[in-house]
Amino acid sequence: MALEDAKTQVDHSFTRDEARGLSYENAFGGALSFLRRRYTKDLTGVDIAVTGVPFDQAVTNRPGTRLGPRAIREASSLQPYDPPYGWGFDPLSEFAVIDYGDLAFDYANVAAFPDALTAHIKGILEAGAASICLGGDHYISFPILKAYADKYGPLSLLHFDAHSDTWVDDDMSRIDHGTMFYKAVKLGLIDPQTSVQVGIRTHNDDTLGVNIIDAREVHEGGAAAAAQKIKSILGDRPTYVTFDIDCLDPGTAPGTGTPVWGGLSSGQAAIILRDVAGINMVGGDVVEVSPPYDPSGATAVAGAHVAMELICLWAYNNRK
């Protein structure tokens, strides 16, 4: 740590001069942004816009993920002192990463939420940046995918989760965090044959042809082997990466709405995310962090690390 910088830096989310660079202000003080990035609505020259989506009105069990973006930002204050371990480069110094703040929406007009989120992400993409979204429940991935598919065409999906979220739902107006990838396949937003779901450990009669690496396969075959299988399926196709924190075992990440035993460890998730470096990731999200169910904050810490890994994945392929 740069001691002199630690003595003088404070509220870096507002006072930093540039979007690039590490931050050294005290983790326990200062105004919070994700990784102490600058809070701004100016997308000029921005590479990655981190944005919160505090929405949890699509859950089937416990609410609370509307508080996820705030908790993830707080947890991320432990990370911006050093380059992320194991990547061999520093994306925060090489790329312009900002905290774009949260999506504004009318909490009492749930039906208007999807279009508001799609427009929010389209604005980021039209400015030439990629988005990393902090959820929020997992439904948010569906409006986000609409924006990405509009730019890139049908995407490959790399999906970490305990649940497939492809349960049948032909009512495209329903807002449900367990059926949005069924809709995404049916609407042609994602290509199931070149998509992968990792960590699955709940039953679904019809997976719509999506490739599945369930939790047991990761446990028995190893995380490194799972990563190589993922890369062989995705190839170089434009890929959206979504990480539901309940992919992790509830012993590791209890702060989530629909916990399922037998999940991945944080170590397994870290190996997979680092070993898939080189995939053509165009955007991503981390969702379903529900702080009320984890007073330790460990789930938010895991979410913050996942978000950093998503930044690294995007940056790995975009280095000059």
| pLDDT tens, position by position, 14-39 | 999 899 999 999 999 999 999 999 99
Sequence-separated (6 or more) residues with CB below 8 Å from residue 132: 48, 49, 50, 51, 283, 284, 285, 286, 307, 310, 311, 314
Residue 161 in marked binding region: yes
- Token pair in block for residue 27: 């983790």
Host H or E run for residue 100? strand 97-102
β pairing state of 281-287 and 196-198: unpaired
Residue 205 assigned to a binding site = no
Do the annotations mark residue 115 as ligand-binding?
no
Would you give the distance in Å from CA 258 to the centre of its chain? 17
What CATH superfamily is the domain 3-318?
Ureohydrolase domain (3.40.800.10)
Question: pTM of the entire structure?
Answer: 0.97
Q: Please tell me what DSSP assigns to residue 264.
A: B
Alpha helices in the chain (DSSP H): 3-8, 12-15, 68-75, 91-94, 113-126, 141-152, 180-186, 215-221, 223-234, 266-275, 298-318
Residue 111 per-residue DSSP state: G
pLDDT (tens digit, 9 = 90+) per residue, 38-80?
A: 999 999 999 999 999 999 999 999 999 999 999 999 999 999 9
pLDDT above 60: residue 241: yes
Contact 21, 93 (CB under 8 A): yes
User: Which amino acid would we find at residue 64?
Assistant: G
pLDDT band at 4 (very low <50, low <70, confident <90, very high): low
138 is in an annotated binding site: yes
Residue 163 annotated in ligand binding:
yes
User: 246 labelled as ligand-binding?
Assistant: yes
Q: Given this model, what pLDDT does residue 7 score?
A: 83
Average pLDDT, the chain: 96
The string of pLDDT tens digits covering residues 96-153 is 999 999 999 999 999 999 999 999 999 999 999 999 999 999 999 999 999 999 999 9
Q: Is the pLDDT of residue 3 over 80?
A: no
Q: What mean pLDDT do residues 227-234 have?
A: 98
Q: What is the pLDDT of residue 2?
A: 66
